[in-house]
Structure 1
Amino acid sequence: MTIAPGSADQGASHMYRAMRDFVQSVDDTLPGKFEITKEGIVHDMMSPVKQHELTVLRLRKRLEKAMPEEIVAHTGEPDVEGAYEGVLRRPDVMVIAEEDMEGEGTFDPRTVLAAVEIVSRSNPDNDWIAKTRDYPLLGIPVYAVFDPRTGSGAVFTDIHSTPDGPRYATRKDFVYGEDVTIGEWTIATNGLPRYRDEDADGAAS
């Protein structure tokens, strides 16, 4: 089949808009969280377990204590959107200047200084694999992963070009109890909760 110049990009853009319209139409009516990746829509129907949410809270407080007042560690909505890349994500924590949160619509990924994710029990590949692809594609310079399953994590930095697209060139692993540097700010990781065997699966957030 012959494809006219530019028609493939137009088709991809149309598909993204269709997925985005669907996500917007069901986001407040169906349980769980919806995100859009290069592979399609990610829908997590599970609710986050306490350890996941407590980790989000403690990391947010520690980051904001270390950062200047004009920089915040934001949790929740709105999403980070790269329409051209066809990606719509909602990090557990977004490090961003307060002034860049003003206005309407989604966050511009170019204003996000760092994204932080807490690995879920139900879909760890979403955090460890898919987002290490999506976040450099969006141009987010720092991506930090905290994994309550293992009590460890990693910080990804230094976006560079590869045959498969932008990827992080540097990965620094850590274990809970060590200090970790996210962007320009160093925080402690002691006292972060771990998942327990009897816990129900958490969210793929």
Structure 2
Amino acid sequence: MTIAPDSERRGADHVYRAMRDLIESMDDTVPGKFEITKEGIVHDMAAPVGPHELTVLGLRKRLEKVMPEEIVAHTEPDVEDEPEGILRRPDVMVIAEADMEDGGSFDPRTLIAAIEVVSRSNPDNDWVGKTRDYPLLGLPVYAVFDPRTGTGAVLTDIHSTPDGPRYATRKDFVYGEDVTIGDWTISSENLPLYGD
């Protein structure tokens, strides 16, 4: 039996909607955060306090000091591309305040940058999965801060590859160096590390 493309797309839409409904029902009852990727649901058990959240807070504050008033560093947003079947929740997203007015999930193509603080429980989600998904969603800048190692990277310059859109440029850094995210440079000095 052959499935026509329209039927296949409706099936994919149905599966995505079912996954979306499932994670919405679990958001307030199960700790951590849930995201939807091309491979299915990802559960990240990021601790609600400690080095992860202190890093998120520090990055947001540092960015907002150097960005113009109409640009914000927003935390815990939903970024969704329903046709692609992807829902991600960056730790910090850089976006124009005017692009936040519609409510609901944000269109990933309105973001200036996405920033992730690597989770101790699922580092591949940030280093592998989001490195694949964010260029697919059209996010021009993806910055990763890793409290496990005191290192990170800023990925830019989306280009086409046989495996789909990917970032062409990766600039690695170690904590203590200045980091440029989009048009703004912040210090990564004194960001907390995960303890043993």
TM over 0.5: yes
**Counterpart of 1:51?**
51
When residues 58 and 168 of structure 1 are mapped into structure 2, their CA distance, relative to the original with a 3 A threshold, is: same
Alignment of 1:20-99 (within 5 A): 20-77=20-77, 79-99=78-98
**Equivalent pair of 2:176/2:190 in contact (CA under 8 Å):** yes
State the shift of 1:45 in Å.
Answer: 4.0
**Counterpart of 1:112?**
111
Give the structure, 1 or 2, with the largest relative contact order (CA under 8 Å, sep 6 or more).
1
TM-score using structure 2 length: 0.95
When residues 13 and 192 of structure 1 are mapped into structure 2, their CA distance, relative to the original with a 3 A threshold, is: same
Unmatched tracts of structure 2, length 5 or more: none
State the shift of 1:166 in Å.
Answer: 0.9
**Equivalent pair of 2:46/2:120 in contact (CA under 8 Å):** no
**Counterpart of 1:14?**
14
When residues 175 and 46 of structure 1 are mapped into structure 2, their CA distance, relative to the original with a 3 A threshold, is: closer
**Counterpart of 1:184?**
183
Counterpart AA for 1:39? E
When residues 182 and 45 of structure 1 are mapped into structure 2, their CA distance, relative to the original with a 3 A threshold, is: closer
**Equivalent pair of 2:32/2:45 in contact (CA under 8 Å):** yes
Write the distance in 2 (CA, Å) between the matches of 1:24 and 1:31.
Answer: 13
Write the distance in 2 (CA, Å) between the matches of 1:62 and 1:177.
Answer: 14
When residues 152 and 45 of structure 1 are mapped into structure 2, their CA distance, relative to the original with a 3 A threshold, is: closer
**Counterpart of 2:129?**
130
Cα-to-partner distance string for 1:115-150 (whole Å, 9 max, x where unaligned): 000011111100000000111111100000001111
Unmatched tracts of structure 1, length 5 or more: 198-205
Write the distance in 2 (CA, Å) between the matches of 1:74 and 1:5.
Answer: 38
Write the distance in 2 (CA, Å) between the matches of 1:45 and 1:186.
Answer: 29
Identity %: 78
Write the distance in 1 (CA, Å) between the matches of 2:2 and 2:27.
Answer: 37
State the shift of 1:49 in Å.
Answer: 4.5
State the shift of 1:26 in Å.
Answer: 2.1
Correspondence 1:100 to 2:110? no
> Which deviates more, 101-110 or 3-12?
3-12
Write the distance in 2 (CA, Å) between the matches of 1:178 and 1:115.
Answer: 19
> Which deviates more, 106-115 or 8-17?
8-17
When residues 46 and 110 of structure 1 are mapped into structure 2, their CA distance, relative to the original with a 3 A threshold, is: closer
State the Cα RMSD in Å.
1.2
The size of the alignment, in residue pairs, is 196
